[in-house]
Amino acid sequence: MKNETLLLTESTLSFRKEHPEMIQLWERQIVEDTCNPDLHFCLYALENYIHLRAQLIASDYLYDFVLNAHIVHADWQSIYVQNGHTDAEAVELANQEILQIYAAINKNPLSEKDKVVTEILDKESKQ
């Protein structure tokens, strides 16, 4: 997967470097299922993008991707607030941006390993 597909932007790399303790806290929240609402959204919205989820699981990058998405989500919220939107509007607009990103990445071609994981996820979702 390419860096942009993994959401490894200047912003996410910089945040990760400057705030390793926050990254560790978010990782712990994901594992313990105690995420804040925005992180929870970034994690659970992936369930609707089975190909993307398969790619992330196959490359052992699911949680890192979610953390990157959470950082991007916060960046979008900040931009929308700066442009005059309320906090609630900014969250909803950031949610839509993340969903558009997920949808775009979800269309990427799958490797053979991704296809196997997709099959497993399909079977799990039908049970």
Contact 65, 57 (CB under 8 A): no
How many structural domains is the chain composed of? Answer: 1
Residue 94 lies in a domain: yes
Segments forming the whole domain that contains residue 42: 10-126
Rounded CA separation 37/87 (Å): 13
Residue 2 lies in a domain: no
Angle, CA of 71, 66 and 122, to the nearest 5°: 155
Average of per-residue pLDDT across 36-65: 92
Long-range Cβ contacts of 90-93 (<8 Å, 24+ apart): 91/38
Model confidence at 109: pLDDT above 90: no
Residue 82 lies in a domain: yes
Model confidence at 50: pLDDT above 80: yes
Q: Provide the pLDDT for residue 51.
A: 87
- Contacts of residue 53, Cβ cutoff 8 Å, sequence gap at least 6: 46, 47, 62, 121
* Weakest-pLDDT range from 62-71, 92-101, 106-115: 106-115
Average of per-residue pLDDT across 85-111: 91
- Looking at per-residue pLDDT, the higher value among 9 and 75 belongs to 75
Residue 3 lies in a domain: no
Residue 50 lies in a domain: yes
